[in-house]
């Protein structure tokens, strides 16, 4: 699928899935590399040997001899799952989103195939991108919750339902989970990956965002419970 260019200041929800549902990360090193790559790939400058040249340094160390960093996009939020990832990106350079996604996914595929002696495409076709800011602030609010809270909640012990039922504990856990950027908005972390201007304006305080997430996911819990009841009733009919 050909991805069309986006207008300047477009906010895009980008999703990329592993081919045939395959894992795109298999261990903690893969996950850590993904987080680092979000920073290093988001630059007009490209160093083919960025891993070697930043080895044993701080996670987001930038060599002094590199030119001044010029990001291709603004990364507003992100989360990494085992077989796919979500990004909310803002277009700030001509075709910046397209160039960033090409660098990001190309590097992941090359590294994955070399590390695990695999061949072929790691990902399932082109990334899926949907413009978000044309739908208004309400949609952006829900998108922020979906990417930064709902996704890591699915990885919480007991799954999404248990996370929603134990919201405060799960929210704290998700804030400390290193493979999404919720911590950048709760104050737990302050990585150079995330630009907080858009969601920072929509949600004026961390507490406002937390309470909106709680309300949104409580509604999701009601849907999950209703679905379970429907399944239970259906099974009884077949007994």
**Mean residue pLDDT across the chain:** 90
Question: Residue 236: is its pLDDT beyond 70?
Answer: no
pLDDT tens, position by position, 126-169:
888 889 998 888 999 999 999 999 999 999 999 999 999 999 99
| pLDDT at res. 141 | 94
DSSP 172-213: HHHHH-TTBSHHHHHTS---SSB--HHHHHHSSSHHHHHHHH
The pTM (predicted TM-score) of the whole model is 0.90
CA distances from 66 to 36, 59, 106, 133 (A): 17, 16, 21, 34
Q: Where are the domains of the chain?
A: 11-134, 136-234
3-state helix, strand, coil in the chain (%, to 5): 50, 15, 35
- For residue 107, is pLDDT > 80? yes
Tokens found for residue 40: 């290093």
Backbone angles phi, psi at 80, to 5 degrees: -110, 125
> What pLDDT, in 10s, does the model give residues 35-71?
999 999 999 999 999 999 998 899 999 999 999 999 9
At the topology level of CATH, where does 11-134 sit? Alpha-Beta Plaits (3.30.70)
* pLDDT tens digits for range 6-36: 898 999 999 999 998 899 999 999 999 999 9
Collapsed DSSP state (helix, strand, coil) of residue 54? coil
Element of type H or E holding 162: helix 159-165
CA 153, 155, 157, 160 torsion-angle sign = positive
């Amino acid at each position: 699928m050909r991805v069309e260019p986006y207008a300047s200041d477009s906010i895009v929800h980008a999703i990329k899935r592993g081919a045939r549902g395959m894992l795109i990360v298999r261990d903690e090193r893969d996950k850590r590399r993904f987080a680092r790559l979000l920073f290093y790939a988001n630059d007009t400058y490209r160093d083919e040997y960025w891993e070697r040249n930043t080895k044993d340094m701080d996670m987001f160390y930038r060599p002094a001899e590199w030119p001044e960093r010029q990001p291709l996009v603004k990364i507003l939020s992100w989360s990494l799952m085992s077989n796919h990832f979500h990004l909310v990106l803002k277009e700030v350079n001509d075709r910046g989103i397209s160039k960033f996604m090409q660098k990001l996914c190309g590097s992941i595929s090359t590294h994955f195939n070399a590390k695990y002696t695999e061949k072929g495409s790691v990902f399932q076709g082109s990334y899926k991108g949907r413009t978000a800011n044309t739908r208004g602030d309400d949609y952006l609010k829900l998108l922020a919750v979906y990417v930064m809270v709902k996704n890591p909640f699915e990885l919480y012990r007991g799954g999404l339902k248990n996370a929603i039922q134990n919201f405060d504990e799960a929210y704290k856990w998700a804030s400390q989970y290193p493979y999404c950027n919720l911590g950048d908005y709760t104050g737990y972390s302050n990585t150079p990956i995330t630009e907080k201007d858009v969601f920072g304006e929509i949600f004026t305080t961390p507490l406002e965002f937390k309470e909106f997430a709680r309300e949104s996911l409580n509604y999701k819990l009601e849907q999950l419970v209703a679905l379970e009841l429907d399944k239970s009733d259906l099974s009884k009919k077949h007994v």
